[in-house]
Amino acid sequence: MSNQADLLTRVSAQEGVGREIHDPATGAVIGFAPVHTVADLDSAVAAARAAQPAWAALGHAKRIELLNAVADKIDANAEELAQLLSREQGKPLNGPNARFEVGACSVWLRATAATVLETETVVADEANPSQLFYKALGVVGAIGPWNWPLMISIWQIAPSLRMGNTVVVKPSEFTPLSVLALLEVMNEVLPADVLVGVSGDREVGARLASHPDIDKIMFTGSTATGRAIIRSSADNLARLTLELGGNDAGIVLPGTDPAAIAENLFWGAFINTGQTCAALKRLYVHDSIYEQVIEELAGIAAKMPMGNGLDENNVLGPLQNKKQFDIVSDLVEDARKRGGRIVTGGSPATELGELFYPITLVADLKDGDPLVDEEQFGPALPIIKYTDVEDAIASANRLEAGLGASVWSADPAAAREVAVRIESGTVWINQHGTIHPMAPFGGVKGSGYGLEFGVEGLKSVSIPQVITG
pLDDT at residue 2, rounded to an integer: 54
pLDDT tens track for 56-97: 999 999 999 999 999 999 999 999 999 999 999 999 999 999
DSSP reduced 3-state for 448: strand
| End-to-end Cα distance, the chain | 52
Dihedral Cα 76, 81, 83, 88, nearest 10 deg: 180
pLDDT at residue 14, rounded to an integer: 86
Architecture of domain 4-244+444-468: 3-Layer(aba) Sandwich (3.40)
**Domain ranges for the chain:** 4-244+444-468, 248-429
pLDDT at residue 4, rounded to an integer: 65
Residue 68, C-beta contacts closer than 8 angstroms, at least 6 positions apart: 109, 110, 113
pLDDT tens track for 4-44: 668 888 998 888 889 999 999 999 999 999 999 999 999 99
Do domains 4-244+444-468 and 248-429 share one topology? The answer is no
Cβ atoms of 108 and 228 within 8 Å: the answer is no
pTM here is 0.95
pLDDT tens track for 367-425: 999 999 999 999 999 999 999 999 999 999 999 999 999 999 999 999 999 999 999 99
Query: Which class in CATH covers the domain with range 248-429?
Result: alpha beta
User: Does 160 score more than 60 pLDDT?
Assistant: yes
Complete DSSP assignment for 420-442: TTS-SSEEEES--S---TTS-B-
Percent of the chain with pLDDT over 90: 95
- Residues with a catalytic annotation lie at 243, 277
Q: What does DSSP assign to residue 253?
A: P
Strands (E) in 261-338, as ranges, are 280-286
User: What is the average pLDDT across 299-315?
Assistant: 97
pLDDT tens track for 115-153: 999 999 999 999 999 999 999 999 999 999 999 999 999
**Sequence-ordered alpha helix ranges (H) in 304-453:** 322-337, 370-373, 389-397, 412-419
User: Does 1 score more than 60 pLDDT?
Assistant: no
pLDDT at residue 198, rounded to an integer: 97
pLDDT at residue 130, rounded to an integer: 97
Model confidence band, residue 3 (pLDDT cutoffs 50, 70, 90):
low
Model confidence band, residue 238 (pLDDT cutoffs 50, 70, 90):
very high
pLDDT tens track for 346-364: 999 999 999 999 999 999 9
Q: What angle do CA 255, 290, 302 make, to 5 degrees?
A: 115
